[in-house]
Amino acid sequence: MNMPLKIENLKISFGRGAVEAVRDVSLELRPGEILALVGESGSGKSLTARSVLKMFPEGAVVDGRISLTGDNVLEASPNDLERLRGEAAAMVFQEPSTALNPVFTIGWQIGEGLKAHGMRDPRERRARAVELLRDVDIPDPETRVDCYPHQLSGGQKQRVVIAMALALRPAVIIADEPTTALDVTVQAGILDLLRRCRDELGSSILIITHNLGVVADLADRVAVMYQGRIVEEASSTALFSSPKADYTRRLLAAVPRLGQGTAKDDNTSRERLVLVADQLEITYPSRFGRTPVPAVKSVSFDIAAGEVLGLVGESGSGKSTIGRAVVGLSPVTGGAMRLFGADLRHVKGESLRQLRRRVGFVFQDPASSFNRFMTVFDCIGEPLRVHRALSSSSEFRSRVLELLDQVQLPREMATRYPGELSGGQRQRVGLARALALNPEFIVADEPTSALDVSIQAKVLELFRALQKELGFAALFISHDLAVVEEIAHRVGVLRHGQLLELGSARQVMSSPSDDYTRLLINSVPVPDPLAQAKKRMLAGSIS
Amino acid sequence: MLSYTLRRAGALLPVLLVVSVIIFSLAYLTPGDPARTTLGPEALEVDVQNLRDSMGLNDPFWVQYFRWILNAIHGDLGTSYFLNMSVAEAIGQHFLPTLQLAVLTILYALVISIPLGTLAARWRGSIFDRGVAGFTLIGLTFPSFVLSLILVIAFSVWLHWLPVAGYRNPFSDPWNGMRYLILPALSLGTIYAAVITRTVRASVLDVLKSEYVDAARSRGVNETRLLFAHALRNAGLPIITMIGLSFASLVSGAVVAESIFNIPGIGSLLVNAIERRDYPVLQGVVLFLTCVYLGLNLLVDLLYGLIDPRVRLSDAGAK
């Protein structure tokens, strides 16, 4: 049988062999097959995928053989390469907003690929672009073809990227984390679209992902990569039911799953309330002459001492805006937000400082929330310094070291710089910084969404242990239902700035009362191929 | 696009207002009495006072300012104390050579810098790139007056190809007009060519790293087209900013070149006005240059809108 794609003994290294990113990888993609390449960041999965089109980062040394529809990619001439790219294999990128050029219309960009492969007539190109947009379910393609990328939603942009990949009906589609940047409800649609590409066009798909739910939903076969090697390759049902490699087992165990009975009942006493939002409204000032649209409208909730409230919602739901309002980073424009009994709209100056002292904040992206010219010691100690919390420098030092112990980082880390740490370590530092002043309340804004699953699991465990030990209350913001279920006592579901549902974690997760919550829960792909297939069938028969 | 244009233009009015007040008060506060200067040290105090009255110099500050600005809006910038003509007329005469020189200079700089910068980014780290880096370093550090002298010696004194200095209007005498402008443009333009080359290289390099370039490459678009059709337009914003700034500084700052090559441009008009305390000319020229500067800024803003749809369509509510 003639394989559309065959990778043999691929080795990729950097710095004259100092860093071996891909070590001896061999893979086969069969006609009409969806193969998932799974692994954590740095495992070499994206490099492997990009090598199919010979798109290497600078300084890569490559060895091995890649045969794409019979042609040897690594030895192809530039002309052959340009022909193979798009025609034999095409790529779908992770972040649709960066994969599209912002200054050209989407029609023009689709046309560029067609033009490169010999379609000379502009009218023909345009007609084909409209047709492709229709194929990927873009509404009103005749008009949308002249849109610029920023005029489309994230999901639509990803559909456009897929349309471009489909333009020349390539034998192989390489999808590099195609749904990572998208909301769960949008993700389901994109996965369906990819499945249709295979079913209707017969394309083979190599999908790169770290999300095992996506794998279970889509893939026929799975290859697991770890530190540049393929540690396991099996059919998707076999892999999930009886993983062989150690690493695969650990990976599967680390995936947070919905409805595993971990959801908590709400039994905290509501005598002392830490945070009260009453008909909260947050409107960002808009440009002159335009009616401002509120980012958050009439949201009411409260958080009792020692309680963790999870706020769930998709992008644009206003969940981060609420979190930022607690520490005064976004303006409360209506209703009231009372922190330790003080109305945030009226607190200013010294009393605001005193309030802030009692609140810790953990940011989403540990890579960008530290000053990279400050050592870990200074980063953690900064809140202590700013609030002049400790008088002697020996006390200061011992407090920082104690915090490092608390977040389970070795004390030697204190002298390092944030850039020298891994993502998980950095987020531990972020947690330590938030805890520095012994806050009674912590706002955690997507603290684990930038981390790999196995690292996420550890950070979440740490967060839970610390919360139990130190007893702080928390507002935990996340788009990931499974994560919130694990952490929170109560859960609130936000959409378009409105709170749709609020209840104990168990109640919201197992018997949601709102349709949107149900849709949200159902959209999360289950990391189990059989269960996911059943769920899909069920959803299909309903719609 | 229309509302964008109006908004950008409207934003310039306060700037113009503040600048005009500053210009006026600078001249108002500068020591030295124009009436006394006009009449000379031998004049009688009575005559000086009379002249001050008739020139309106004894009126309060704001009265003088409003009289001046209202007239300026009508195109009347007053009469020069020394040139025997209206300020507007003087600016008209002197601006043309400067503008011609500036346009030629910027054209020269662009013809050099855009291909050099783009290709240097394309072949980053190559010998070509290093050569370009060397050229920009020399261009940036070499004083333009030294360069002009070298050029004059080479092309005029030895080779007799081009005139040493002077000015002919290229509109009435195209051949000679151009011959007179070439050396000043080369000596002035090299530094701008160097600056713009660096900007082009840096911003093209930035764009080439972005994923949409990779994405286009993955669809089989060839490298040349990637570079010139896809990347250059994205790299355009910083480049246009740089060009706008360069052009504006050329219009107002060609003084040195104008005096070396003896070109009767706006720079020499300004320098003479300062030396002679010719306040109406001084104020008029600075106000005029401010307008040119703001106009160029507006043009750059509009070009932004043309290049980047996100700027143009941001308030169209097309989401």
Q: Which domains does chain B have, with CATH numbers?
A: 2-73 (no CATH), 92-313 (1.10.3720.10)
Calpha distance A45→A210 (Å, rounded): 10
| A413: amino acid identity, one letter | M
Chain B residues within an 8 Å CB radius of A99: 211-212, 214-215
Phi, psi at B82, each rounded to 5°: -120, -30
State whether B219 and A100 contact (CB < 8 Å): no
Is residue B4 predicted with pLDDT exceeding 90? no
Burial of A120 (0-12, 13-18, 19+ CB in 10 A): exposed
Calpha distance B152→A173 (Å, rounded): 63
Calpha distance B154→B164 (Å, rounded): 10
ipTM greater than 0.95: no
CA dist list (Å): B120 to A19, A533, B19, B230: 29, 53, 40, 16
Chain B residues within an 8 Å CB radius of A181: none
Best of B219, B222, B314 to mutate (most A CBs within 10 Å, chain A): B219
Is residue B27 predicted with pLDDT exceeding 80? no
In this predicted structure, what is the pLDDT of residue B107?
A: 92
Burial of B65 (0-12, 13-18, 19+ CB in 10 A): middle
Q: Which residues of chain A have pLDDT under 70?
A: 1, 259-268, 286-290, 540-543
Calpha distance A261→A264 (Å, rounded): 8
Calpha distance A268→A467 (Å, rounded): 14
Phi, psi at A534, each rounded to 5°: -65, -45
Scored b (16 or more CB within 10 A) or e, A365-402 reads: bbeebbeeeebbbbbbbbbbeeeebbeeeeebeebbee
Task: Tell me the pLDDT tens digit for each residue of B282-317.
Answer: 888 888 888 888 888 888 888 888 888 887 765 443
In this predicted structure, what is the pLDDT of residue A261?
A: 59
Task: Tell me the pLDDT tens digit for each residue of A184-217.
Answer: 888 888 888 888 888 888 889 999 988 888 888 8
* Structure tokens belonging to residue A522: 């159902």
Q: Is B180 within 8 Å of B168 (Cβ atoms)?
A: yes
* Structure tokens belonging to residue A58: 């600078």
Q: How many CB atoms lie within 10 A of CB B76?
A: 14
The nearest CA of chain B is from the CA of A539 a distance in Å of: 30
Is residue B319 predicted with pLDDT exceeding 50? no
Chain A residues within an 8 Å CB radius of B216: 101, 109, 112-113
Chain B residues within an 8 Å CB radius of A172: none
DSSP state of A411: G
Reported as type and span, the H/E element at residue A461 is helix A453-470
The residues spanned by each domain of chain A are 100-169
A 264-303 residues with CB below 8 A of B? 287, 290
DSSP state of B32: S
Phi, psi at A96, each rounded to 5°: -60, -25
* Structure tokens belonging to residue A427: 């987020």
A 128-147 residues with CB below 8 A of B? 147
| A38: amino acid identity, one letter | V
Q: Of A458, A436, A437, A434, which Cα lies nearest the Cα of A448?
A: A458
Task: Tell me the pLDDT tens digit for each residue of A476-506.
Answer: 999 888 888 888 999 999 998 899 999 888 8
Q: Is B94 within 8 Å of B268 (Cβ atoms)?
A: yes
* Structure tokens belonging to residue A79: 């002309």
Cα Rg, chain B, nearest whole Å:
24
Residue A226: beta bridge partners? Answer: A229
| B147: amino acid identity, one letter | L
